[in-house]
């Protein structure tokens, strides 16, 4: 995954409370997310808003590249 890529949220792997908070922020399953930067923190665009996520929080979000037949990856910086 690189800056500028669009991904689709496939699964949230946090606690139930954390997953609910991520959904409230717009990171629900099947939501499209555009990656803006992959630096110390992850900056992305979701639901027409730019949000920053820590690496720890981003690691809880399993994504797949937008497009058919792609395997899931973590949204985190090391993905």
Is the pTM value of this prediction over 0.75? yes
Using the predicted structure, report yes or no on whether residue 78 has a pLDDT greater than 80: no
CA 1 to CA 8: how far, in whole Å? Answer: 12
Strand order across the beta sheet in which 6-12 lies: 49-53, 42-46, 32-38, 6-12, 61-65, 73-74
Which domains does the chain show, CATH number per domain?
6-74 (2.30.30.90)
User: Model confidence over 5-51: pLDDT tens digits?
Assistant: 999 999 999 999 999 999 999 999 999 999 999 888 899 999 999 99
User: Model confidence over 20-30: pLDDT tens digits?
Assistant: 999 999 999 99
- Residue pair 7/75 in contact by the 8 Å Cβ criterion: yes
């Amino acid at each position: 995954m690189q800056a500028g890529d669009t991904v689709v949220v496939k699964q949230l792997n946090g606690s139930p409370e954390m997953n609910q908070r991520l959904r409230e922020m717009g990171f629900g399953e099947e939501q499209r997310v555009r990656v803006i930067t992959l630096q110390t923190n992850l900056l992305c665009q979701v639901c027409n808003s730019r949000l920053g996520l820590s690496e720890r929080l981003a690691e809880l979000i399993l994504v797949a590249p937008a497009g058919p037949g792609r395997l899931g990856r973590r949204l985190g910086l090391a993905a």
